[in-house]
């Protein structure tokens, strides 16, 4: 995937990997340039299109990172994503997709991938039970307060063993 180049430096040979080059078709280049010039698209989409354009001009990841004010890791990530999608884009062009479809495909390549986030800490049943506590009168739970506070709600949920632990902040979110 990467070509190996060797450079001489004070009689020592240093091996350096050069990244796989990116080649754009004329249509892809036109779409990329329209994204680079766009003032209506998201900044990160424009920045990623600019990275791909720089890479297509022959810049390595470090040069791209410096020119686009990102990290080398970010440049490497987008080079890999583009290379992974390039064959699909070329096939779509051969099948005759129009400019708008090609533009949507390229934008999809340059968008963030879906990330699911952390798993939920509380089950729906636990949340319903905590909300049910907040609907009760605090006096019924031997609480000397007139209304539920996040701290009191969290303590009561743990006292009733609905949850093993819950932060005041989380209980406060359920009160809302």
Interhelix angle for 99-110 vs 26-37, to 10°? Answer: 70
Q: At 122, list the tokens.
A: 């509380």
- Asked whether 156 and 133 are in contact (CB, 8 A), the reply is yes
**pLDDT for res 9:** 46
Q: At 80, list the tokens.
A: 């890999």
Per-residue pLDDT tens digits for 43-91: 999 999 999 999 999 999 999 999 999 999 999 999 999 999 999 999 9
Q: At 32, list the tokens.
A: 């990329």
Nearest of 147, 176, 173, 141 to residue 160 by alpha carbon: 141
**pLDDT for res 11:** 46
Per-residue pLDDT tens digits for 133-175: 999 999 998 989 999 999 999 999 999 999 999 999 999 998 8
């Amino acid at each position: 995937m990467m070509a190996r180049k060797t450079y001489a430096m004070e009689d020592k040979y240093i091996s350096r990997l050069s990244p796989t080059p990116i080649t754009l078709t004329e249509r892809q280049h036109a779409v990329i340039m329209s994204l680079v010039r766009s003032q209506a698209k998201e900044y990160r989409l424009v920045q990623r299109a600019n990275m791909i354009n720089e890479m297509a001009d022959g810049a390595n990841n470090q040069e791209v990172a410096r020119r686009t004010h990102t990290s080398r890791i970010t440049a490497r990530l987008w080079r890999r994503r583009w290379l992974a999608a390039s064959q699909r884009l070329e096939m779509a062009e051969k099948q005759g997709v129009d400019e708008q479809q090609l533009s949507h495909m390229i934008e999809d390549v340059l968008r963030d991938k879906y990330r699911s986030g952390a798993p939920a800490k509380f089950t729906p049943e636990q949340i319903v039970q905590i909300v049910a506590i907040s609907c009760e009168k605090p006096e019924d739970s031997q609480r000397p307060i007139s209304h539920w506070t996040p701290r009191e709600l969290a303590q009561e949920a743990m006292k009733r063993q609905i949850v093993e632990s819950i932060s005041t902040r989380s209980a406060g979110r359920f009160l809302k």
